[in-house]
Structure 1
Amino acid sequence: MERKGILGRKLGMTQVFTKDGKLIPVTVVEVEPNVVTQIKTVETDGYDAIQLGFETKREKLSNKAQKGHLAKANTAPKRFMKEIRGVDVSKYSLGQKLNVEVFEEGEMVDVSGISKGKGFQGVIKRYNQSRGPMGHGSQYHRGVGSLGTMRPMRVFKGKKLPGHMGHEAVTVQNLEVISVIPEENVILIKGNVPGPKKSLVIIKSAIKKSNVKKDKQELVSYETNEVKEDDADVKTAIDDENASQEVNE
């Protein structure tokens, strides 16, 4: 099955309710229109892919090579450009704009991003190792522990040691698209996705569950200006009662 994808920015997390009372935690991703800046084919590049440009930046921040590359697509300089492989390139044209409606509600997607950086951390936080006794008589608390045997008198490659944690490429697979809001360029994805707020994320069709599509969730909407008749009657009765009290006073 052909894949599709789009670039966006993670805005944060919230929760929505279905009409049957179910709570769903979702990540809000802002997807401004993406521009197809390059089309790669097997004949010219050895594989099929499209290159997407996302988020316009100032022209002075682009070099001559970037300006020439994007001029072919007749678009402004872009802050991010990423490839989406496995697509049907015959469905795309150079300079074409893709919006959030690329995906439908109920589809399964894989979301990639750069995880939050945690700095230099020990093995307990970094690898979830157990600590030693915390009493003052113990000489082992939060250390690494044994680094190996006496022979071959060296530390083997791959030994879990303290070091930099986070800020690495992470992909969370098989997430459900809960809602697509084209007028706000927003897509709601069930669960959490990698990275801090305002970070770049890449949304692609799920590679493991490409044929799975769940039923559309009927969400509760809180945006309405309509006044129910019962509420209007109650408001009128309260106003009449307040008016009569003022007259009696």
Structure 2
Amino acid sequence: MSAEVENTNEQQQAEGVKLNGLFAFKLGMSTIFENGEAVPVTLLQYRPWVISQIKTEDKDGYTAVQIACGSKRASRTTNAAKNHLSKAGFENGAEFIREFRQDLPEGIEVGQKIDINSLSAGDTINVTARTKGRGFAGVMKRWDFGGGRASHGSGTHRRPGSIGNNKEPARVMPGRKMPGHYGFVNVTTRNLQVVDVDAKEGVLFVRGAVPGARNTIVKLVKV
């Protein structure tokens, strides 16, 4: 190994590896002021993530960086997970395992930490998170239907109306908007902006709203 590559590895070990994005946890919303204007921001808590596996085209069919965060109790972890994550420093497995599909940074190794400065103020990002679950809901709440007549005698105030066709094809077509479980699905909000990154406190400030409830894990990808 050349001295140049060794220096790169030592620097990455000290500062952390920079990827095309980060995973963070939603704290909530707040307001900051820029040039006298109130700006709504979402606060995201960054926790230490460690590289647990490096996936390559030859071995895995695609290129990606697998990362892990948090610890689990030994009784809650399989032996396979313990063996897989032991090289990354997780004795009893990790609470969260995620990955970024991207080109591999130079000198990347299992066990290196991810640098919060992978994102910086001014970056445009796509944010993916699981939305709040709202349980079973009707079509007016779930799909914003207008509903039926509100007049006296009407018995279809909040019903969906007709859901079928004629004799042919004599079935309900796939994708029909009907009552059902509302929320708790992965949603991507595109082209949000990173307002600030507080590396000391491990907090990222993103302009606008981010999907999900508090403590939801959020994926941030640089555009």
- Could you tell me which residue of structure 1 aligns to residue 36 of structure 2? 21
Query: C-alpha displacement at 1:91, in angstroms?
Result: 4.8
Question: What is the TM-score normalised by the length of structure 2?
Answer: 0.86
Query: C-alpha displacement at 1:162, in angstroms?
Result: 0.5
- Could you tell me which residue of structure 2 aligns to residue 53 of structure 1? 68
Helix, strand or coil for the counterpart of 1:126?
A: helix
CA distance in 2, matches of 1:22, 1:199: 28
Correspondence list, 1:48-197, <5 A: 48-76=63-91, 77-152=93-168, 153-197=170-214
The one-character-per-residue Cα deviations of 1:103-162 (angstroms, maximum 9, x if unpaired) are 110001111111100111111111111111212222321101122333223222221110
CA distance in 2, matches of 1:159, 1:103: 40
The one-character-per-residue Cα deviations of 1:10-64 (angstroms, maximum 9, x if unpaired) are 011111111x112111111000111000001112111110001122333332221
Query: C-alpha displacement at 1:3, in angstroms?
Result: 6.4
Q: Is the 8 A contact 2:150 2:157 kept in 1?
A: yes
CA distance in 2, matches of 1:91, 1:128: 51
- Could you tell me which residue of structure 1 aligns to residue 48 of structure 2? 33
Q: Percent identity?
A: 37
Match of 2:28 among 4, 8, 12: 12
In structure 2, runs of 5+ residues without a counterpart are 1-17
Question: What is the TM-score normalised by the length of structure 1?
Answer: 0.77
Change (3 A) 1:160 1:147: same
Change (3 A) 1:193 1:121: same
Q: Is the 8 A contact 1:109 1:203 kept in 2?
A: yes
RMSD, aligned CA: 1.7
In structure 1, runs of 5+ residues without a counterpart are 207-249
Aligned structure 1 segments of 4 or more residues deviating by more than 6 angstroms: none
Correspondence list, 1:188-207, <5 A: 188-206=205-223
Q: Is the 8 A contact 2:19 2:105 kept in 1?
A: no
Q: Is the 8 A contact 1:3 1:205 kept in 2?
A: no
